[in-house]
Homo-oligomer: A and B are copies of this chain.
């Protein structure tokens, strides 16, 4: 890392330029940016050095230079300028957040949309599992004739339905029984035994066959591994970048962004504290080798944890993305504290 100040400035200028244009950057272009009063020949020498050191790549002999993964890495670590988010955007963000007096779960989903709005890149956000939040209530409601709906309230609301007939009164009584057993438990603590006990209590006033169906469904609903939810916003934005002007590449990426399983793995990856970038080959997924991610882990006061990830081309506007995530995390933290503590 023994880069002279001049080399740093040149590298920075090259990457800044390349982020804007996606075209290889030539020595003349840099020399004309004048702030450093050097001729193109001098810049060329420095560029040759930077290439030798691994920070730049020359696509072919007579082309300019583009940053290597290492170049971007150095840029993100040491060179990136501070990005000032417009006061308008901040105000907009705040008003968006205020208008959404809502459940944490919805807030999270919304945060992904906001991040995408601010950065103009695709975002992926994972909502925490909720098997750590206790069961507040279970409802049994007869809806259409022949259908009974089960509603399990934890931090979220899950619902399922069973196709049996049960009177309103039957629902009521069964609901009370279920609540007596389950309320206060955490979903993963519920076992077959717990359910069996409910059955014992209910046998008598509900036909066994019906009871079985309902309780089976209840068990499934409660224990269905409270999946990490994944929300993707603005996936189509990738089509704006020349990196994806090839339809096949675009399709591959969009398929990836549709694949919840892969995205869960992505969200589960360790990206350390705070806001961090993973650049090109640093990514585990083959398909992300030419892209970069900027990820931010978050934890809710209630204990859940998740991750917000911005996905873009390697030449993404890192400083803007970092600043945006920082802003969002601050604003939301304020909001969450306000809701939790009332101040």
Contacts and interface: CB of A to CB of B under 8 A. Distances in A.
A149 B153 contact: yes
A302 B339 contact: no
Interface in A126-170: 133, 136-137, 139, 141-147, 149, 151, 153-155, 157, 159-163, 165
A245 interface: yes
A255 interface: yes
Given A147-B339, A245-B247, 4 more contacts: A136-B141, A149-B153, A149-B157, A247-B250
A255 B235 CA distance: 10
A145 B341 CA distance: 8
Count copies of this chain in the complex. 2
A139 B153 contact: yes
Interface in A82-141: 101-104, 106, 133, 136-137, 139, 141
A251 B240 CA distance: 8
A339 B149 CA distance: 13
A155 B141 CA distance: 10
Question: Size band of the A side of the interface?
Answer: 35 or more
A244 interface: yes
A141 B137 contact: yes
A342 interface: yes
Interface string A198-219: 0000000000000000000000
